[in-house]
Amino acid sequence: MKPSPNLQATLKVLHLSGIAESLEVRLDQAREETLGYLEFLQIILQDEVERRHATSVQRLLKQAAFQEQKGLEEFDFTAMPGVNPKEIKDLATGLFIERKEHVILYGPPGTGKTHLAQALGNRACRSQYSVLFTTAAKLFRKLAAAKIDGSYEKAMRSFLKPQLLIIDDLGLTGFTQEQTEAFYEIIAERHHTGSIVVTSNRPPGDWPGLFPDQVLANSLMDRLAHKAHHIPLKGESYRKRGRPQKVTNS
């Protein structure tokens, strides 16, 4: 049964696009299954709720600016026996964001750090948390450029606002004094407002040596690393898998 144009117009005015979309099918279903009034109302309102949820997840995923949509489902835990699946799945519930805790994923290249960080971010979006993914290089580049054009506060806010900030590849190189101060500000400001997921090729124990200012470095480590879930990734690069084997003439 087609809903009348009047009804469609009313649903549009009320921004009930989820109901508008499913109404025709639901009216047929109501007839066939002789649904009660309340039951019918319940079903179409649920359609609206689901549609709104899906739209908001799509918006959050877009805002998160992931490099790739990597899910936890695609992560092969058997390939990384050092990683405890239960620990990752617990983090994927988003409780660490609720508690404003941090996560540090570290290990050699190709062990799935960026994959896992994005998978946690993806789950966070699905649980309605706002997320921003950035590489450390991009974050510092943005802040440095913003300092020049007078938009530093705005740029800094963009890193403070999301409930979860993911910083990929921290510590590939040493930090300048300016970067140390900016990073300290992010850690200190976010301390009470939101979580950070960091990936790094270096274990957190090596980080202090990357900072020129040991006072800031200690304070920073105290706030970030000492209160984080540490996830070490070990072993062979996953990228090497599937590469043709070298043929040796023996």
Which residues of this chain interact with ligand ADP, rule CB under 6 A? 70, 74-76, 79-80, 109-115, 199, 238-239
| Least distance CB 228 / Mg ion (angstroms) | 18
Query: On the CB side of 83, how many CA atoms lie within 13 Å of its CA?
Result: 24
In this structure, what token pair is assigned to residue 62? 């877009």
| Least distance CB 122 / ligand ADP (angstroms) | 12
- Rg of the chain in Å (alpha carbons): 24
* Residue 76 interacts with, from Mg ion, ligand ADP, none (CB under 5-8 Å by kind): ligand ADP
Residues 85-114 that bind Mg ion (CB under 5 A): 114
Phi, psi (degrees; rounded to nearest 5) at 237: -65, 135
- The residue number whose beta carbon is nearest to ligand ADP equals 112
* Residue 70 interacts with, from ligand ADP, Mg ion, none (CB under 5-8 Å by kind): ligand ADP
Residues 203, 106: contact at Cβ < 8 Å? yes
Closer to ligand ADP by Cβ: residue 16 or 231: 231
Give the C-alpha separation, 165 to 211, whole Å. Answer: 21
| Least distance CB 249 / ligand ADP (angstroms) | 31
| Least distance CB 73 / ligand ADP (angstroms) | 10
Residues 236, 243: contact at Cβ < 8 Å? no
Closer to ligand ADP by Cβ: residue 58 or 237: 237
Q: Which residues of 125-155 are buried (b: 16+ CB within 10 A; e: fewer)?
A: bbbebbbbbbbbeebbebbeebeeeeebeeb
Phi, psi (degrees; rounded to nearest 5) at 70: -110, 130
| Least distance CB 193 / ligand ADP (angstroms) | 26
Give the C-alpha separation, 13 to 148, whole Å. Answer: 45
Q: Which of 83, 138, 93 is nearest to 115 (CA)?
A: 83
Q: How many residues bind Mg ion (CB under 5 A)?
A: 1
Closer to ligand ADP by Cβ: residue 82 or 212: 82
| Least distance CB 248 / ligand ADP (angstroms) | 26
Closer to ligand ADP by Cβ: residue 152 or 238: 238
- The residue number whose beta carbon is nearest to Mg ion equals 114
Residues engaged in binding Mg ion (CB under 5 A): 114
